[in-house]
Amino acid sequence: MGAEYAPILPQLILVIGGMLILLLEPFTASARKSRLGQIAIVACTLAAYGLGRQGTGPRAVVFQGMFIADNFTFFCQWLFLVITGTSALISLRFNEREAMNRGEYYALLLFASSGMSLMAASGDLILTFLGIEILSIATYILAGFKRADARSNESSLKYFLLGSFASAFLLYGIALVYGSAGSTNYQAIRELAEVHGSGQVMMLIGLALLLVGFGFKLATVPFHAWAPDVYEGAPTPVTAFMTVGPKAAGFAALVRLLVEAFPSLEPNWTALLWFSSVLSMTLGNVVAVLQTNVKRMLAYSAIAHAGYILVGIVAHNRSGFEAVLFYLVIYTVMNLGAFCIVLSLSRKGDLQVNLENYAGLGRRAPLAAAALSLFLVSLAGIPLTGGFIGKFYLFGAAVQQGYIGLAIIGVRNSVLSVFYYFRLIVLMYMREPYEGRPDPEPISLAVLAITVLGAIAVLWMGIFPAIFLNLASNSTLALK
Amino acid sequence: MKIQNIVTLVTYLPAAAALALLFFPRRSGRAIRLFSLIACLATFVLSLHLLYHFDGNNPGMQLEESAPWIETRTFNIRHHLGVDGISLFLVLLTTFLTPLAILSSWRSIQDRLKPYMICMLTLETGMLGVFLALDLVLFYIFWEVMLVPMYFLIGVWGGENRIYAAVKFILYTMAGSLLMFLAILYLFYANGATTFDLVEISRNLATGVLRLSPGAEFWLFSAFLLAFAIKVPLFPFHTWLPDAHVEAPTAGSVILAGVLLKMGTYGLLRFCLPLFPSAALAAAPYLSLVALIGIVYGALVAMVQADLKKLVAYSSVSHMGLVVLGIFAFTLQGLEGATFQMLNHGLSTGALFLLVGMIYDRRHTRLISEFGGLAHGNPLLATFFLVVTLSSIGLPGLNGFVGEVLVLAGTFLSNRTYAAVAATGMILGAVYMLWMYQRVFLGKVTNPANNAIPDLEAREKLILVPIVILMLGMGVYSSPFLRRMDSSMDRVVKRIQSARAERGYRVQTHEANIEREKLAHGR
């Protein structure tokens, strides 16, 4: 039995941490709720420690093929722990300010994290669905955590309704695949699909429905409609978490599902994802140009980046999957970094997040402005930042596989994205500060640390990316 | 004495200085200025080493340095730098102009001085990297990174319409270069996914180890061409240039006109011709035509400008058209003339922008109609301006003449009509430059505001004297320059000629096939 539980130790730590927070919550004075957040961070650290002790190793399949512990899982879990820990850290002060400092917040973050890990490790449709639901339900609540704020409520409700809709699609897809394959296990589905090829209509419909469900969860076009409103209305740290965490987990689960269960139906899913990729990149970037609210702009940019990542999946070669993993890491770093600055500049009531509030920031807060510029430059994919290496890999994989048209659409979109990312830089450095601006608030130590570490990471991944790329390469090797 | 890793040192010294500047206190303006100037001068002195150790008889890359940079399962990017007859003088031009540009902004930049100098220094590293990089990805990285400091230079320290100009500049350039990026990736995979090394890829292309289908070659050539044509800028892609030049601060305009535009024509010489010779051959008539349109159109538009800086900007369109014409003549004279003309244009247009900047510092206007008779109170300014004007219009004895004659001669060898039209463009050039000079400096002082302006000060003389000396030197004794270009240019010409021979052969066999088919049908 012990051998069965060893691979899921990090998840166990997260869940136990979450329950501990829930237990302690009623006994903690409201002024000291931040302690509970600190417990969450400790739980993440412990889980990371446990993960590090496990180390990389040969593929271990436990719980009757449900849970796959391999280098891919290992890589993704690291990423998820970083996302969760950072999200908890940047929430501490925000939650105090917005008077929403309750322990459940941190417990939900930990539960979401365990859901994400299950998604990446899943070798069975049922576990994939459970992981998605654990993550989703936690994030539905987190999005509406600012109970007194109508926008936060709207965000939560919208996310919940459309999310349940997506879950229904997923379930229906799972049912059809199960019906045609007789099993929900990836290995079994794969074997059967290989025998029947793409001749089996029921399985094809099932796969299509699964892709629709994933499309909703990943906010790729045409299933993106919920994302901007939800991202705008949710409390900023939750938005930061939502643009990276569920996205990374969704892509990890999608890659595993497609590679391990449906390699024989590859012409079918690449065709569908090709369109979704093109639409996501184009719509995300075009609409981002029109935004005046920074959170909304980053929401549309998140849609566009999902489109870029899909390029790697469409290429479906090893370089492509490497590129997906690397891009998930760099996207996490630069997006969390950007949100971290947006957060530290926002004011009570989640105000001051419009573009014009950034006018003259270069003079008012030079460090924040410089860091935000770096993250934006990286999001735009300018060389010497990790964002460039990420796009280099994604489009390289597409060119290698002969998807030149897709690559051309991708780089055209990059030019477009430069326009709106640089517009923020224009505001910060080339315009004078606006009247009636608030005095800069001192940046908290946590935010400062995350910003500096993020900036170093972005440059490191841009200048000496080999170590990260080789890690990603080893992790994709595990997929079979 | 030979310094180890000289090329790397030259490339990164300015960037290292920029990094050091970060630790200077913001208030110590004098120290920041002096430090930046010394760093640029040190770079210039180091770059003279390249000249000293350069062997003019070697057509290949020299002083090469290659080290692994990003080595992964998928890609192998090397940090590979080197210099040859094509890039040598462009490197020197860069290191020569940058200290002058910094000196020119000694007084005019007071606001946010430290970031300004950091931008100038990183820009220099970017430009040097573009000329020296021999790995395609490394080249692309320098090409793109350099945009960021230039964008800030225009956008933060520029004129009234600076934001529009900065955004237009970066969007235009990126729109061109990202397709080049895909072409680089395609070339990498076509070459067996082993290397991005330019030397290796061009050797494989020349020896036939790597064969591109005519269609692929055409598209790759087009992708590279678009990136470079926007940068040059070639005729229909030139609209970003007047905005960027006019809005940029003086030093920015000097670097833009002096060095950045050369990156486009350098790219044509370094990549488009040697890598895709048959596509270049096929495209040459059209490109020459576009270049001719640029020469005449730029000159005509320059003639009617009311703003001095705009006039100089449009003259750049005209002059760079001449460079492109020389390149696509595919003769040794044409290529050497084009490269020489790049240097000339860098010097003369750079100097013109410096002079216009000096006038602007005094009067805070650049409208030609505001001036007149400046020569009366400012004999030195007028003299320097005259020399630079004459250099720009190609008066014999000054550098401009050598380049123009070589380009025209080279073009004449390949197409007489083109040469004749281009010569007309030269006449138009003389018209707008001299007319402008007449309206600004000659005649009576009509505007009382022009009576009280001071003549050149010591710092400004210090900027202009080296340029004028170089103009004279290059005009009277040009062979030290041309000699060092000879063998590298010759190699490019040979590559084109062999492609032409191969093309001729291919056309013949195609015709032979048709003949054979006809015979077969006849039977």
pLDDT, one tens digit for every residue, chain A (480 residues):
466 788 888 899 999 999 999 999 988 888 888 889 999 999 999 999 988 888 777 888 888 889 998 889 999 999 999 999 999 999 988 888 888 888 899 999 999 999 999 999 999 999 999 999 999 999 999 999 988 888 889 999 999 999 999 999 999 999 999 998 889 999 999 988 888 766 688 889 999 999 999 999 999 988 998 999 999 889 999 999 999 999 999 999 999 999 999 988 888 899 999 999 999 999 999 999 999 888 899 999 999 999 999 999 999 888 899 999 999 999 999 999 999 998 888 877 667 778 888 888 888 888 889 999 999 999 999 999 999 999 999 999 999 999 999 999 999 999 999 999 998 998 888 887 776 666 666 777 888 899 999 999 999 999 999 999 988 888 888 776
Option in A396, A407, A408 nearest B74 (CB): A396
Option in B71, B156, B189 nearest A399 (CB): B189
Give B162's contacts in chain A (Cβ within 8 Å): 430
Q: What was the pLDDT predicted at B523?
A: 46
In the structure encoding, which two tokens stand for residue A378, read together? 């990286």
Cis previous bond, B233, omega within 30: yes
Tell me the residue type at A433. Answer: P
In the structure encoding, which two tokens stand for residue A229, read together? 């409103």
Give A382's contacts in chain B (Cβ within 8 Å): 144-145, 147-148
In the structure encoding, which two tokens stand for residue A212, read together? 């629709």
Distance of CA B327 to the CA centre of its chain: 13
Q: What are the Cα distances from residue A173, in Å, to A169, A170, A214, A253, A262?
A: 6, 5, 11, 15, 13
Alpha-carbon gap, residue B343 to B474, rounded angstroms: 10
In the structure encoding, which two tokens stand for residue B453, read together? 């302006």
CB contact under 8 A, A395 and B182: yes
Q: Is residue B323 part of a domain?
A: yes
CB contact under 8 A, A411 and B181: yes
Alpha-carbon gap, residue B251 to B231, rounded angstroms: 18
CB contact under 8 A, B145 and A393: no
Any idea what DSSP says for residue A403?
Answer: -
Distance of CA B210 to the CA centre of its chain: 30
Write out the H or E segment, with its range, that includes residue B68. Answer: strand B62-71
Q: Is residue B392 part of a domain?
A: yes
> In 3-state terms, what secondary structure has residue B481?
helix
Alpha-carbon gap, residue B489 to B502, rounded angstroms: 20
Range of the domain at B294: 284-487
* ipTM associated with this complex: 0.92
A-interface mutation test, from B12, B70, B71, B74, most A Cβ less than 10 A away: B74
Backbone angles phi, psi at B67, to 5 degrees: -145, 145
Note whether A78 contacts B: Cβ–Cβ < 8 A.
no
Low-confidence ranges of chain B (pLDDT < 70): 1-2, 505-523
Q: What was the pLDDT predicted at A148?
A: 85
Residue A230 CB contacts under 8 Å (≥ 6 apart), including other chains: A143, A155, A156, A158, A159, A242
Q: What are the Cα distances from residue A15, in Å, to A118, B245, B296?
A: 12, 61, 74
How many other CB atoms are found less than 10 A from the CB of residue A452?
13
Give B155's contacts in chain A (Cβ within 8 Å): 426, 429-430
CB contact under 8 A, A465 and B70: yes
Residue B436 CB contacts under 8 Å (≥ 6 apart), including other chains: B308, B311, B368, B389
Q: What are the Cα distances from residue B403, in Å, to B56, B340, B376, B486?
A: 19, 5, 33, 14
Q: What number of H helices and E strands is found in chain B?
A: 22, 2
Alpha-carbon gap, residue B219 to A467, rounded angstroms: 34
Alpha-carbon gap, residue A200 to A129, rounded angstroms: 23
In the structure encoding, which two tokens stand for residue A205, read together? 């419909």
Backbone angles phi, psi at A183, to 5 degrees: -155, 155
Please state whether beta strands B76-83 and B62-71 pair in parallel, antiparallel, or not at all (unpaired). Answer: antiparallel
Option in A415, A423, A466 nearest B175 (CB): A415
- B2, exposed or middle or buried, with CB in 10 Å at 0-12, 13-18, 19+? exposed
Tell me the residue type at B257. Answer: A
Q: What was the pLDDT predicted at B72?
A: 87
Q: What was the pLDDT predicted at B336?
A: 92
Note whether B67 contacts A: Cβ–Cβ < 8 A.
no
Alpha-carbon gap, residue B373 to B327, rounded angstroms: 40
CB contact under 8 A, A415 and B178: yes
Q: What was the pLDDT predicted at B512?
A: 61
Note whether B380 contacts A: Cβ–Cβ < 8 A.
no
CB contact under 8 A, A430 and B155: yes
Q: Is residue B167 part of a domain?
A: no
Q: In sequence order, which ranges of B133-260 are alpha helices (DSSP H)?
A: 136-145, 147-157, 162-190, 198-207, 214-231, 240-247, 250-255
Q: In sequence order, which ranges of B328-398 are alpha helices (DSSP H)?
A: 332-363, 374-377, 379-393
B-interface mutation test, from A429, A432, A467, most B Cβ less than 10 A away: A429
Distance of CA B492 to the CA centre of its chain: 19
Angle at the Cα of A103 from the Cα atoms of A97 and A106, rounded to 5 degrees: 90
- Of the candidates A376, A459, A355, A424, the residue with the CA atom closest to the CA atom of residue B155: A424
Q: What was the pLDDT predicted at A480?
A: 67
Residue A442 CB contacts under 8 Å (≥ 6 apart), including other chains: none
CB contact under 8 A, B70 and A422: no
- B30, exposed or middle or buried, with CB in 10 Å at 0-12, 13-18, 19+? exposed
CB contact under 8 A, A382 and B144: yes
- Of the candidates A140, A115, A141, the residue with the CA atom closest to the CA atom of residue A130: A115
- Of the candidates B212, B502, B68, the residue with the CA atom closest to the CA atom of residue B202: B212
Q: Is residue B124 part of a domain?
A: no
Alpha-carbon gap, residue A212 to A220, rounded angstroms: 9
CB A358 within 8 A of CB A293: no
Note whether A411 contacts B: Cβ–Cβ < 8 A.
yes
CB contact under 8 A, A419 and B70: no
CB contact under 8 A, B147 and A382: yes
Option in B70, B141, B178 nearest A411 (CB): B178
Give chain B's domain count: 1
Alpha-carbon gap, residue B428 to B318, rounded angstroms: 10
Give chain A's domain count: 1
How many other CB atoms are found less than 10 A from the CB of residue B443?
14
Dihedral of alpha carbons B319, B320, B323, B328, sign: negative
CB A129 within 8 A of CB A209: no
- A233, exposed or middle or buried, with CB in 10 Å at 0-12, 13-18, 19+? buried
CB contact under 8 A, A473 and B162: no
CB contact under 8 A, B74 and A429: no
Q: Tell me the nearest-neighbour CA distance from A285 into chain B, angstroms.
A: 14
Give A315's contacts in chain B (Cβ within 8 Å): none
Range of the domain at A457: 2-477
Write out the H or E segment, with its range, that includes residue A61. Answer: strand A60-62
pTM recorded for the entire structure? 0.93
Alpha-carbon gap, residue B347 to A114, rounded angstroms: 64
Task: Output A157-165 pairs: Cβ under 8 A, ≥24 positions apart.
Answer: A158/A226, A158/A229, A158/A230, A158/A233, A159/A226, A159/A230, A159/A234, A162/A216, A162/A225, A162/A226, A163/A136, A163/A216, A163/A217, A163/A226, A165/A216
For B91-115, the DSSP string reads HHHHHHHHHHHHHHTTTT--TTHHH
Q: Is residue B360 part of a domain?
A: yes
In the structure encoding, which two tokens stand for residue B413, read together? 């060898």
How many other CB atoms are found less than 10 A from the CB of residue A129?
22
Q: What was the pLDDT predicted at B425?
A: 87
Q: Is residue B385 part of a domain?
A: yes
Cis previous bond, A222, omega within 30: yes
Q: Is residue B409 part of a domain?
A: yes
Give B163's contacts in chain A (Cβ within 8 Å): 426, 430-431
For B223-282, the DSSP string reads HHHHHHHHHTT-GGGTTHHHHHHHHS-HHHHHHIIIIIHHHHHHHIIIIIHHHSHHHHHH
Report B:72-131 residues touching A (Cβ under 8 A).
72-75
Backbone angles phi, psi at A351, to 5 degrees: -95, 180
Give the largest Cα separation in chain A, rounded. 69
Q: What was the pLDDT predicted at B510?
A: 60
Option in A322, A412, A422 nearest B74 (CB): A322
> In 3-state terms, what secondary structure has residue A164?
helix
Q: Is residue B377 part of a domain?
A: yes
Note whether A426 contacts B: Cβ–Cβ < 8 A.
yes
Q: What was the pLDDT predicted at B513?
A: 62
CB contact under 8 A, B162 and A430: yes
CB contact under 8 A, A430 and B137: no
Alpha-carbon gap, residue A276 to A281, rounded angstroms: 9
> In 3-state terms, what secondary structure has residue B13?
helix
